[in-house]
């Protein structure tokens, strides 16, 4: 049985005082939560602060991106080793905003995943289609291209160490949400692709989160679908009450 996994992507939000307040509230409100994995991904400047606050807590710490090189003249970038050094256990890779605003390709995401795994970080690998691609009937084609490109050259053992997040781009920051049925179709397709490429056991065990306007009001309908194993939460993760409510739904 796959353990549900709910992660909060804070994006470019919060300052230090807000990080302290939000994490303090989450530690208190989620102290009794069991049977679900929980993570938060603050902005880079506050990862060390968040690590100190979360010390000894069951909430895991993640980052929102990273670069694939160990070190060097890469102004503005952050390495996997740096993330490990400040206490991160996981990292979001290939988020649609990284792809569409900053030009990240599947090949780039693939290199990032490889480096993350090499240093012991757990990657959350994001895939998903635009509204135009969905309306053109290309959802599965786009997802397959992305998953195949991101996992090129990986073994079954590698895939067992990551999470996939399906995030329909048209449902991110737009107020729209994929229906539970639409989300389930995409998740089932991803799991089926993993079955065929890496084996049924790996497909059965791989966790696939849904990301795209997840909130307490729709979390139950989404996460009761058989192939949806949790959520990658955006805006709702910036309020302790709403994020905690989504985590409790996942239980």
Give CA–CA dist 27/167, Å, rounded: 27
What is the pLDDT, as a whole number, of residue 73?
Answer: 98
The model's pTM is 0.97
* Domains in the chain with CATH codes: 5-250 (3.20.20.70)
Give CA–CA dist 204/202, Å, rounded: 5
Backbone torsions φ then ψ of 63, nearest 5 degrees: -115, 170
- pLDDT tens by residue, 115-156: 999 999 999 999 999 989 998 999 999 999 999 999 999 999
What is the pLDDT, as a whole number, of residue 212?
Answer: 87
Give CA–CA dist 10/64, Å, rounded: 8
What is the pLDDT, as a whole number, of residue 174?
Answer: 77
Backbone torsions φ then ψ of 98, nearest 5 degrees: -70, -40
Helix (H) or strand (E) holding 209: strand 208-210
Which residues belong to the active site?
95, 167
Give CA–CA dist 61/122, Å, rounded: 11
What is the pLDDT, as a whole number, of residue 45?
Answer: 98
What is the pLDDT, as a whole number, of residue 57?
Answer: 94
Per-residue pLDDT of the chain (251 residues; tens, 9 = 90+): 899 999 999 999 999 999 999 999 999 999 999 999 999 999 999 999 999 999 989 999 999 999 999 999 999 999 999 999 999 999 999 999 999 999 999 999 999 999 999 999 999 999 999 989 998 999 999 999 999 999 999 999 999 999 999 999 888 777 777 899 999 999 999 999 999 999 999 999 999 999 988 999 999 999 999 999 999 999 999 999 999 999 999 98
Burial class (CB in 10 A: 0-12, 13-18, 19+), 127: buried
What is the pLDDT, as a whole number, of residue 76?
Answer: 97
């Amino acid at each position: 049985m796959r353990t549900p996994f709910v992660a909060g992507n804070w994006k470019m939000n919060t300052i230090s005082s807000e990080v302290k307040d939000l994490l303090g509230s989450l530690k208190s409100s989620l102290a009794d939560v069991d049977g679900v994995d929980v993570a938060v991904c603050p902005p880079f400047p506050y990862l060390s602060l968040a690590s100190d606050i979360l010390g000894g807590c069951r909430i895991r710490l993640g980052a929102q991106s990273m670069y694939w090189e160990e070190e060097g003249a890469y102004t503005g970038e952050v390495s996997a080793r740096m993330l490990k050094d400040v206490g991160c256990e996981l990292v979001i890779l290939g988020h649609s905003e990284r792809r569409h605003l900053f030009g990240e390709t599947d090949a780039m995401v693939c290199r990032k995943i490889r480096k993350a795994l090499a240093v012991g970080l757990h990657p959350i690998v994001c895939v998903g289609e635009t509204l135009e691609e969905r309306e053109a009937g290309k959802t599965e084609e786009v997802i397959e291209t992305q998953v195949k490109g991101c996992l090129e050259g990986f073994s079954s053992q590698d895939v067992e160490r990551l999470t996939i997040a399906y995030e329909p781009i048209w449902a991110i920051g737009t107020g729209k949400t994929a229906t539970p049925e639409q989300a389930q179709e995409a998740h089932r397709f991803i799991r089926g692709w993993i079955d065929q490429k890496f084996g049924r056991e790996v497909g059965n065990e791989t966790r696939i989160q849904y990301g795209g306007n997840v909130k307490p009001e729709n979390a139950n309908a989404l996460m009761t679908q058989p192939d949806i194993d949790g959520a990658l939460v955006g805006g709702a993760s910036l309020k302790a009450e709403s994020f905690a409510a989504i985590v409790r739904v996942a239980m």
